Structure 1
Amino acid sequence: MVFWASKFYTASDTKHTGTPSAIRIRYAYTSDFKTFSAPQTYIDRSPTNIIDLTILPYGDGKSFLRFMKDETLKTVFVEYSTSGLFGTWTRPGGSSAIIQSSVEGPAAYWDNQVSGKAHVLLDFYGGDGYHPYETSNPQSNTGWTASNMTNFPKNLRHGKFIDRLFQLPNTLAGDAAVTIIVQCIITWLIELILVNRDIKSGPVQPIGFIPEPENRVLRWYMFLDRKKELNEPGSVGHWAFFLFSQVLRAFIVAVISFCLLWGPCVGILTAVGTKRGGDWYFTAKWAPQIFKLLLGGILGLLTTPPFAVFWLVRAGWALRTNEGHSGD
């Protein structure tokens, strides 16, 4: 059984410009998440809008708790049933009883040490995110008390992926690897364009005093001893080969940069992250952004000047050999 919140427009309102119905909870059945039964309504409290449903089973097969948000009043409350998911549900304390206001995204679970004790995370959407609550009487809307926040993640919100060092989808180690490769390629191409533009417009002069290398690998890398162009100048094949030759050389720099920077990045991240199990977690709101800013800045400082010098030197050799252009 899967469930979600939906609102409806009249059949004639195909552009959804009119007033929709109240939000209700719908459900369907699936065994493979590929095929689903026809959706049906599970909870309809019109005109009250209901969203963010989560269900907590007792384990006896017929008793359940369900937490939901009153989107109209911006409150979260709990109901219980002892006669199954489609049995009679009771809202302890009456129709206006709530656990907390100005919250959403309830996430409930049983305590793994104390039998009968329940916990619920409530997202203070206008504040600093999730706060934990607990009770030994979960069939109540008034018996929930705030839990100790020590070591609880900061700014954790419902629907948010927690940034981790190695595990997908939000892996900072993987992000660092991709950043190094992509930034090196983009920087290489940008410097190629900017240096050639500045040389042609006059404010920058090529570097012509450095002798050409004799090493065959360096000569290949520096676009020396080039083979005769097989594709017609200006053709798709010509530009495809040109782009491939540039990206290949930039990728070589990226591999070297990866070897120099990725290890220290991982080491620093293990020092500032929180280790749980076999991975490190980062719950500080700006940690990934600050990390990317520092990595990108350091990588830019290490690669941009050498790339600019590379193209200035290459242009100097091109002028000396009367090539008239460089880099292809």
Structure 2
Amino acid sequence: MTEPKVPKQRSWLYIFVYLVLYEGLMSGAISGGINFAISYGMYAKRSRQVTLWRFPHTMSGDCAVTLFVQTVLTHIIEEIMVGWDCYTGDTFYFPSLPLGGRLNKWAFKALEVDRGMVPFGLRPEAKEGAKPTFKGYVKQLITYDENRSNFVNFIICAVHKVILALLIAIPIWFVEWPVTMGVLAGIGKYIGGIEYELGNYPKPQVIKLVYTVILGWVSTPISIAAVMLRNQWYVEYYSGNNQVLNGENAKLFDLEKTKKDNEKIVKNTDTSSSSESDE
């Protein structure tokens, strides 16, 4: 019988090449091509010129909406695909990143570390010859409350994932959107006030291509890392409290180094949550 797969720890160089140069650039190229085509269909044959601020064809609004929609869609896709890879063990772990301090307590809540998944290869059923199923994975992914229906759990899950995606999108928007507006003002034809005309082709299409390539290049690695770190930190946090992760499995990830810190973080997080509830 073949040994069940479990994630392996990789170096920072490997992680950089994989996330930024492989996943990021590939996602950027795909999203850039799609948005170029959409922008061509939206603007190329219109009688009205595309402008920077003025409706109905406003590039500022187009870029803002595109950023948030693309980041949310990208994150949801990565939640499903990367989460499945983590579940089946077809991924890797980051070098040791022990959690501690206020920033990481915030990350614990934002990433929903307590909702992470144990790789199937570390579960007792894997040793009995069972195989991971996508249906079982999705069921675990969306179930927030076993006493609620699948539909209600799906809605709760979707809301949480969208919130995390927006937490990723907002900082990107604060940097990329203003810079893009400055570039558009520089290449556009000044027509008075703060308004610039961009024509119908090719400026709107090219700027959307470049804009979404950069967006995909930045947002995709962040979304992937968020999912992977959630599952890795879950394993580390609960290594002493989950029977699946005790003994030999814990040694596999050298978890004893971070176990004491993790227990303190969990205790502090639970305490702060209780205090907030009392208030």
Give the TM-score taking structure 1 as reference length.
0.46
Instruction: Say if 2:142 is the partner of 1:255.
Output: no
1:184 to 71, 75, 90: 71
Separation in 1, partners of 2:178, 2:93: 36
Cα distance per residue 1:37-93 (max 9 Å; x no partner): xxxxxxxxxxxxxxxxxxxxxxxxxxxxxxxxxxxxxxxxxxxxxxxxxxxxxxxxx
Q: Which residue of 2 aligns with 1:244?
A: 159
- Please give the secondary structure, in 2, of the residue aligned with 1:281: strand
Determine which of 175, 184, 189 is the counterpart of 1:269. Answer: 184
Quick one: which of 96, 107, 117 aligns to 1:218? 107
Cα displacement (A) at 1:234: 5.5
Contact 1:177-1:262 at 8 Å conserved across structures: yes
Give the counterpart letter for 2:220 in structure 1: T
CA distance in 2 between partners of 1:198 and 1:229 (Å) = 21
* Deviation of 1:266 (Å): 0.6
Secondary structure of 1:280's counterpart equals strand
Q: Give the C-alpha shift of residue 316 in structure 1.
A: 1.1
Whole-angstrom CA distance in 2 between matches of 1:225 and 1:309:
16
Return 165-174 or 312-321, whichever deviates more.
Answer: 312-321
In the aligned structure 2, how far is the partner of 1:160 from the partner of 1:184? 31
Whether the 8 Å contact between 1:270 and 1:280 is mirrored in structure 2 is yes
Q: Which one-letter code corresponds to 2:227 in the other structure?
A: W
Q: Could you tell me how far 1:160 is from its partner in structure 2?
A: 1.9
State the shift of 1:317 in Å: 2.0
Using the alignment, how far apart are the partners of 2:92 and 2:44 within structure 1? Answer: 53
CA, structure 1 residues 305+217, in 2 after alignment: closer, same or farther (shift >3 Å)?
Answer: same
CA distance in 2 between partners of 1:156 and 1:237 (Å): 43
Q: CA deviation at 1:203?
A: 2.9
Where structure 2 has 5 or more consecutive residues not aligned to the other structure, the ranges are 1-42, 116-142, 245-279
Instruction: Give per-residue Cα distances to partners, 1:176-209, cap 9 Å, x unaligned.
Output: 1111111111111111112122223443134372
Aligned mates of 1:213, 1:293 — CA distance in 2: 40
* Among candidates 186, 190, 197, match of residue 281 of structure 1: 197
Moved over 6 A (4+): none
Identity %: 24
Compared CA separation, residues 235 and 285, structure 1 to 2 (3 A): same
Paired residues of 2:114 and 2:234 also in contact (CA < 8 A): no
For 1:313 and 1:198, the matched residues in 2 are separated by: 13
Larger radius of gyration: 1
Q: 2:219 aligns with which of 293, 303, 323?
A: 303
Higher helix share: 2
Unaligned runs of 5+ in 1: 1-154
- Kept in 2, the 8 Å contact 1:208–1:317? The answer is no
Question: In 1, are the aligned partners of 2:71 and 2:219 still within 8 Å (CA)?
Answer: yes
CA distance in 2, matches of 1:156, 1:219: 46
Greater relative CO (CA pairs within 8 A, separation 6+): 2
Q: Distance in 1 between matches of 2:200 and 2:93?
A: 47
Query: What is the TM-score normalised by the length of structure 2?
Result: 0.54
Q: Following the alignment from structure 2 to structure 1, what is the Cα–Cα distance between the partners of residues 221 and 109?
A: 21
Tell me if 1:209 matches 2:96: yes
Q: Give 1 or 2: higher strand fraction.
A: 1
Conserved 8 A contact 2:144-2:156: no
User: Which residue identity does 1:219 align to in structure 2?
Assistant: F
- The reply to whether residue 171 of structure 1 matches residue 58 of structure 2 is yes
CA contact (8 A) 1:176 1:262 kept: yes
Instruction: Give the AA of the match of 2:192.
Output: G
1:225 is displaced (CA, Å) by 5.4
